[in-house]
């Protein structure tokens, strides 16, 4: 057992896990082989600390889960969550990482005993993480990361999981781009905050929307940087529906089109128009605002922490509907982030006829949650009313109902599993 003390302001870190290889300074362990099932072996990297490069940023810490479990901040956010209850954690941070591959290995080593599933990507410009696990494990990783001065001020957002893990497995790896965009934007630096949009706190955002909505002569644009299907179940009042169904193809303010119907930033005065951008957690806005800065847009503002942070602090004020999330839950009501916000089972008034409409019959849906087409070879993500779900047996169109790889209709908030689970399923054919 050994302790590492960083200073008076940080907790003592104590190793209480399984036995660990102890290395003196200067001794390097490049890899070791660990036994797997069925007699197979798999190499596993271990970060070593050399005497030539012993710094705070590259030291491997073994952490006690009892010391780095849920903080008081997270207990206040989710007072009903125990250490065994599953949660979903989201955060991102832009910071220079000299050796991201080594950073990935260090994170993998720390997480070797943690029950965590999700997507965690690192590169030279930072980290982007969405993952699930028992709160004791999920928050231990976030708090361990905060022990590193480079990640001290990350905004960690926590929400309850519905039924165990929200992700099928853990993907923790190096990725050239923290978010995907079509085109050559590899030159864009995300490390300079002055090149990104000005962040507004949730309260500042709400006040700005209330002020702008009362002044029709003010030049401003409320820009939803998400996908169209995300807008379909929830958005800020007054936001135009995005015309893309994949963020990587977003081109607001970049295309040559003069059609404001497809590009809200077309024909605007780049020096005088205020552009208020928002997305789910904030990273898409931070990345895209950097690109818009290069294109001459001067007055860019973004919602700090995204919609999820706003719903936690401000509830559903100025917001309509649910929030789309990229995990097995798919949709969360505002009450998931702020228990004091009343949960509404039926859609709220949007003022836009495209909101909460069935993909098949265009009627208004009562459940703000997407489903995948039952045809495995289609798997379209779409909104659907109960009547159409029953009539088309979970498919998005009549053509898909005759697919040879048809899955059963899922009831409730479920996601389809691997095809072999349904391979022998025989859907009753209509007469």
23, 32, 279, 384: which one is catalytic? 279
Contact of 281 with 225, CB cutoff 8 Å: no
Interstrand relation of 198-200 and 126-134 (parallel, antiparallel or unpaired) = unpaired
Cα separation of 95 and 151, whole Å?
Answer: 8
The DSSP call for residue 164 is S
φ, ψ dihedrals at 292, nearest 5°: -65, -35
Cα separation of 263 and 90, whole Å?
Answer: 29
Cα separation of 4 and 64, whole Å?
Answer: 11
CA 396 and chain centroid, separation: 26
Q: Which of 93, 84, 246, 66 is nearest to 157 (CA)?
A: 93
The DSSP call for residue 343 is P
What DSSP string describes 193-243?
A: GGGSPEEE-HHHHHHHHHHHHT-TTS-EEEEE-S-HHHHTTEEETTPPPPS
Cα separation of 134 and 113, whole Å?
Answer: 12
Q: Which of 197, 210, 190 is nearest to 303 (CA)?
A: 197
Q: Which of 120, 129, 117, 125 is nearest to 100 (CA)?
A: 125
Contact of 340 with 332, CB cutoff 8 Å: no
φ, ψ dihedrals at 2, nearest 5°: -145, 155
Tell me if residue 279 is catalytic: yes
CA 333 and chain centroid, separation: 16
What token pair was written down for 78? 């989710």
Q: Which residue carries 């000005």 as its tokens?
A: 198
Cα separation of 17 and 9, whole Å?
Answer: 24
Within 8 A by CB and 6+ apart from 280, the residues are 226, 230, 306, 307, 308, 323, 324, 325, 326
Active site residues: 279
């Amino acid at each position: 057992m050994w302790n590492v003390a960083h200073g008076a302001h940080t907790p003592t870190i104590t190793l209480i896990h399984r036995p660990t290889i102890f290395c003196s300074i200067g001794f390097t362990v490049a890899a070791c082989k660990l036994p797997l099932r069925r007699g197979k072996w798999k190499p596993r990297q271990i970060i070593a600390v050399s005497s030539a490069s012993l710094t705070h940023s590259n030291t491997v810490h073994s952490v006690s889960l009892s010391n780095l479990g849920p903080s008081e901040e997270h207990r206040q956010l989710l007072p009903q969550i125990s250490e065994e209850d599953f949660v979903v954690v989201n955060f991102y941070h832009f910071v220079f990482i000299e050796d991201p591959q080594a950073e990935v290995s260090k994170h993998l080593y720390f997480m070797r005993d943690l029950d965590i599933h999700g997507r965690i990507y690192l590169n030279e410009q930072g980290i982007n993480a969405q993952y699930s696990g028992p709160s004791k494990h999920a928050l231990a990783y976030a708090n361990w990361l905060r022990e590193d001065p480079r990640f001290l001020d990350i905004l960690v957002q926590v929400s309850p999981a519905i039924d165990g893990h929200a992700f099928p497995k853990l993907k923790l790896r190096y990725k050239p781009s923290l978010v995907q965009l079509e085109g050559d934007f590899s030159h864009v630096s995300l490390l300079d905050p002055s090149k990104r949009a000005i962040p507004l706190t949730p309260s500042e955002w709400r006040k700005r929307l209330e002020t702008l909505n009362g002044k029709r002569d003010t030049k401003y644009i409320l820009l939803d940087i998400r996908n169209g299907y995300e807008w379909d179940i929830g958005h800020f009042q007054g936001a135009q529906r995005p015309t893309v169904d994949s963020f990587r193809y977003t081109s607001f303010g970049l295309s040559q089109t003069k059609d404001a119907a497809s590009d809200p930033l077309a024909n605007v005065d780049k020096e005088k128009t205020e552009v208020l951008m928002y997305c789910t957690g904030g990273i898409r806005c931070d990345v895209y605002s950097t690109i818009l800065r290069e294109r001459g847009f001067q007055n860019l503002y973004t919602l700090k922490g995204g919609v999820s942070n706003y719903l936690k602090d401000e509830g559903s004020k100025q917001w309509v509907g649910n929030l789309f999330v990229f995990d097995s839950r798919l949709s969360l009501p505002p009450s998931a982030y702020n228990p004091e916000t009343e949960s509404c089972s039926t859609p709220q008034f949007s003022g836009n006829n495209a909101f909460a409409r069935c993909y098949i019959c265009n009627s208004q849906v009562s459940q703000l949650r997407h489903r995948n087409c039952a045809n495995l070879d289609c798997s379209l993500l779409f909104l659907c009313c109960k009547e159409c779900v029953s009539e088309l047996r979970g498919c998005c169109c009549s053509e898909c109902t005759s697919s040879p790889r048809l899955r059963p209709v899922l009831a409730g908030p479920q996601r389809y599993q691997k095809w072999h689970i349904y391979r022998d399923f025989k859907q009753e054919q209509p007469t």
